[in-house]
Chain A
Amino acid sequence: MALPITVHEGTMPHRGIRLGRVALVVAVVLALPYVVAPYRLDQVTGALILAIAAVGLNLLSGFGGQISLGHAAFFGFGAYTTGILVTDHGWYPPVAFVLGMLVCFVVGVLVGVPALRLRGMYLALVTLAVGVIFPSLVRRFDSLTGGSAGLFGISFDAPDHAYFAGRAGQILWLYYVAVVALAVSCLLVWNIMRGRTGRAIVALRDNEPAAIVMGVDRTVVRTVLFGISAAIAGLAGGLFAVDTGILTPDSFSLLFTIYLLVAMVLGGRASFWGPIIGGFVIYYLPLWTGELTDGPAAGVLFGILIIVMVFTLREGVVGGLGRLGARVLVVEPRRPTPRFDLSEAPPVSADQGIEPAACQPRQETAAGAPLAD
């Protein structure tokens, strides 16, 4: 069969392909624990956590077009909120995650306020300040956070069930928790972006004056967007706390934010799969280069690989995959809605028959005949 295969949007084959894609992801997620060794699964959990944070950053920077160099701080706020609540107050971790997200939302909205007046480099500097201050704050309030020595003993024990027994069971448990958290984050972003608010977010990024004269409330959209992005990063932080068990301020340095930015750009900004793939790339790339060579050479190789990827995949991994996919499969958009809209017709009684007027083209009542030819 000649490639690419063309399917029409909304037809059975198209729906089948979309469903198949989801089924494939679900299958991989469920099969993974049975195929890989526990320590490998532990790594996947680490990559998932990075992916969640990248999903959060992508909402703000990819879709919203606002740069943040402070996302390590939101990740940290989430991690320490969860860490302190679980260790000192014995909270159930999921409840601590939610509170951590709320804390991050509030901090995010506050940081988003200067974003109303600043953009580009200036906004980058403000968020950079937030990112730089955070590790110092952790050290300053060491009675609460454990300071440089660290906060220990944070855990989210698996339910008492044979399936999650032992050390391998605990790894499996955290893997599933991370999968669910990533799914929730993605659904949240997807829900925002596919609707009215999503259009407003893209409009503000793309053409701010036009967005404002459409009636988009810039203040609300920008600050809430910042808050939600921070909350998702905070959720990732909470997971990080229970996954590693130890929090030290060094984990939340500027380097972490840079990793997130690289993950977002490499994966494909303003796409749904981009930050997830990017999260995995940025997690595994240093591991692989570290296995290949030792010492400084690993870092150099890592850097070179990133440069190569940025040059070869301008729209990120997702963009590259999309181009590849287009050679195999093309989805033809649905045809425009028919001009004759019978749902508009006045109710007709059985003996009356259909009035001719009920079948008139809609443009009779609209603004006139076709113009833009």
Chain B
Amino acid sequence: MSLLQIEDLHAGYGAADIVHGVDLTVDEGEVVVLLGANGAGKTTTMRAISGLIARHGSLRFDGTDISRAAPDEIVRLGLAQVPQGRGTIADLTVEENLRAGAHVRRDKQGIAEDITRWFDTYPRLAERRKQQAGLLSGGEQQMLAISRAMMSRPRLLLCDEPSLGLSPKLTQEMFASLSRINHEMRMAILLVEQNATLALGIADRGYLIEVGHVGASRSAADLAGDDAIRAAYLGY
């Protein structure tokens, strides 16, 4: 059984569905990438999974039906998201952001340990622990957003375009970082990304989403070699 199993997902804002009939699965320890052009429904799918927007269809996380669950219940079940754009709280300090990421947890000892762990992983964050997150550079903010999401000790991490607004060098570092989280913690990751080459470089499988529909799952290598994929991306 897959960790995340979605069948016939419909979601959108208000009257119009943007996503109509998405099926996808993510297994334990797997990196799955969701590719597609602007407006194809990638972010909508991610928001629907986390319960940020109204959705219907079959959504199961580790066997539990989450199609009617509230966002905080979904986080408690072990599904964390790095939302698109700024995933940090600008007015909280770096450390407070990490603590806020552990909002659903009550184990003080474990939270303190995890904060140390993420400060060790990203020493730049440790140096700035008392600074407001809004004062960090774009790259540091994204590191903080990922650590913040990991603070809830998820079993599946959703990342919505983590490379948005980052320099190519920082984007590479960020992907290396995600890959490391996947390998060393056996963390399952569902990734939405515009940068297909890099994303497929760390992914096991991928889906192509087009105007609210998703095709069959294909291996990352297969997708990377597909000219049509590049076309879908670049939009010509």
Contact = CB atoms under 8 A, between A and B. Distances in A.
Given A210-B86, A213-B83, A368-B180, A200 B100 contact: yes
A336 B89 contact: no
A367 B185 contact: yes
A199 B151 CA distance: 14
B92 A363 contact: no
Contact of B124 (A202, A203, A217, A372): A372
A370 B121 contact: yes
B89 A202 contact: yes
A117 interface: no
A337 B119 contact: yes
A210 B88 contact: yes
Interface stretch (B68-76, B190-198, B216-224): B68-76
Given A210-B86, A367-B181, A372 B140 contact: yes
Contact of A196 (B103, B117, B150): B103
A336 B127 contact: yes
B171 interface: no
Interface in A329-373: 333-334, 336-337, 339, 341, 344, 361-363, 365-373
B126 interface: yes
B121 A216 contact: no
Given A215-B75, A367-B121, A371-B173, A207 B99 contact: no
B129 A333 contact: yes
Main secondary structure of the interface of B (DSSP, over half): helix
A132 interface: no
A344 B116 CA distance: 12
A211 B107 CA distance: 20
A3 interface: no
A206 interface: yes
A211 B117 CA distance: 22
B182 to A, nearest CB: 10
Interface string B97-132: 001110110000000010011111111111101100
Contacts of A207: 83, 86-90
Contact of A214 (B103, B117, B121, B180): B103
B135 interface: no
Interface in A183-240: 196, 199-200, 202-203, 205-207, 209-217
Nearest to A338: B116
Nearest to A195: B99
B140 A214 contact: no
Contact of A202 (B86, B91, B145): B91
A366 B117 contact: yes
Given A212-B71, A333-B130, 11 more contacts: A199-B89, A200-B100, A203-B92, A207-B88, A215-B72, A336-B127, A341-B116, A363-B117, A367-B150, A371-B143, A372-B140
